[in-house]
Every structure is written in C-alpha cells, then in structure tokens.
Amino acid sequence: MCYRPPAAEIAAEEARGPRKKTCPKCGNEDLATAKVCTKCGAKYPPMKLNHAHGPAGPKGPSAPKGPAAPKAPGASAAPSAPKPPANPSA
C-alpha cells in the first residue's frame, strides 16, 4: 500500500519551491538532483538515501535451518546412471 500525504503537506512542500544544494567549491545554488555545478562544473557528492538498513533490510542472523529430510535406506548421495529394466520374460 502506498502512502499519500495529506493535501496540506503536499501544498506546503510545493510552496517551499524546488530543493536546492550549494556547491562546496563556488557557492552556487543548484537543484538537489544536479550531479555537477552549473557554474564551475565541480561534481557533487552522491546523494545519500534514507535507508536505515540498506535496500535489502537489516543484516542479521538468518533463520535457522531445519533438519534435513531423512534418506531412504540404501539410497546413495548422488543419483547413479539409470539401470536397465528387469527382464520380465525370464
């Protein structure tokens, strides 16, 4: 489900105008999405996202694995070559 802010929040954000950032080299103001300064051409550092734990979620211990399924008696670990069918006429 998507979150849609109330109309008052949307109107207040639009009234503030576009978000800006200041060039650390020359002090020029550019849009927050700019990758380089429009005045001196200096590269802006990459934008930091607000992911507290990264895009995949928190890194923690994974769920414990359950016991392996029991194997049939006489079953080998890897399948072998197919066996020819038994001769029914013998």
pLDDT score for 51: 58
Which residues lie below 8 Å from residue 24, measured CB to CB, with a gap of 6+? 42
Helix (H) / strand (E) containing 12: helix 7-16
pLDDT tens series, the chain, 90 aa: 678 878 888 888 878 777 888 998 999 999 888 999 999 999 988 877 665 555 555 555 555 566 666 676 766 655 666 777 777 665
pLDDT score for 23: 92
Note the pTM of the prediction, 2 decimals: 0.38
Which residues lie below 8 Å from residue 71, measured CB to CB, with a gap of 6+? none
Residue reference for tokens 């080998």: 76
pLDDT score for 76: 61
